[in-house]
Structure 1
Amino acid sequence: MSGAKLLLVVACALVDADGRVLLARRPEGKTLAGLWEFPGGKMEPGERPEEALIRELAEELGIDVRSACLAPLTFASHAYEERHLLMPLYVCRRWNGEVQSREGQALAWVRPNRMRDYPMPPADLPLIAPLIDLL
């Protein structure tokens, strides 16, 4: 695996007032289509993780998040065949705007103890336990 390209992505566990976490289903045509994941995405060159997450949440869900409302919780490190993924997971309980699907992805508000009922990419699975512990 040495020499594999490192891919930096950021993810967010949006938590609503009822303690549910938002999951988004990867649309058809994308890698790992049909699997459920935490919203987020790739970091652009020169972007800080929080900046990338704020941008991705605005693009994907139409919400405005402030950096001060993003709390780092844990991270995933996962080796895929062609690349190694490093993904910090932030928790966010406050945002402006109404969460909406802006890229055709299905959305679901899920209780933390039910997240394992949703098929997820391998890199997302280890993020569930810290969320259950937190919430």
Structure 2
Amino acid sequence: MDEAPEQPPAPRIVVGGALVHQGRVLAARRSTPAAVAGRWEFPGGKAEPGETEAQALERELLEELGVRARALSRLPGAWTVRPGLELRFWTAELLAGEPRPLQEHDELRWLGPDELDAVDWIGHDREVLPHVAPLLHP
């Protein structure tokens, strides 16, 4: 009998959230690790086993920023952060709370549509900006 070739394990998913509120999106400046410290990203983190991407994003935004948010829809694209780790971006809306940099970030900024180039984005986060910009209304 021929054996089917082994499939590589499914990648672990990391979700980044374009948190939109009042026509602006939240950017977070990384404080760690050193390779990306000082650069900006959309906050988020790894999905835990059994969690949907939406659930993971909502949990991560609560842990990282102290806010309740609702994941809305996945944005186009996926990026390999490193082998076995895939980054996907979602839009989210703020439900309650004022974001604070609780973990892995040292500054937050709400950016309007004309301010998206005002910060030094991490590469994959910059690549998703064309999908985020149309969601922002002055």
- Assess, with a 3 A threshold, how the Cα gap between structure 1 residues 113 and 10 changes in structure 2: closer, same or farther: same
Deviations 1:38-71 (A, max 9, x none): 0111111221111111110111111122xxx321
Q: Structure 1: which 5+ runs fail to align?
A: none
Which residue of 2 is the match for residue 101 of structure 1? 101
**What is the TM-score normalised by the length of structure 2?**
0.78
Aligned pair partner of 1:58 in 51, 62, 84: 62
Which residue of 1 is the match for residue 3 of structure 2? none
Aligned pair partner of 1:43 in 28, 44, 47: 47
Matched residue pairs, number? 128
Q: Which runs of 4+ in 1 moved over 4 A?
A: none
Q: Structure 2: which 5+ runs fail to align?
A: 1-7
CA distance in structure 2 between the partners assigned to 1:113 and 1:10 by the alignment: 25
Q: Does residue 1:16 correspond to 2:21, yes or no?
A: yes
- The structure with the largest alpha-carbon Rg is 2
CA distance in structure 2 between the partners assigned to 1:113 and 1:20 by the alignment: 10
**What is the TM-score normalised by the length of structure 1?**
0.79
- Cα RMSD (Å) of the superposition? 2.4
The answer on whether the counterparts of 1:78 and 1:84 sit within 8 Å (CA) in structure 2 is no
CA distance in structure 2 between the partners assigned to 1:83 and 1:9 by the alignment: 12
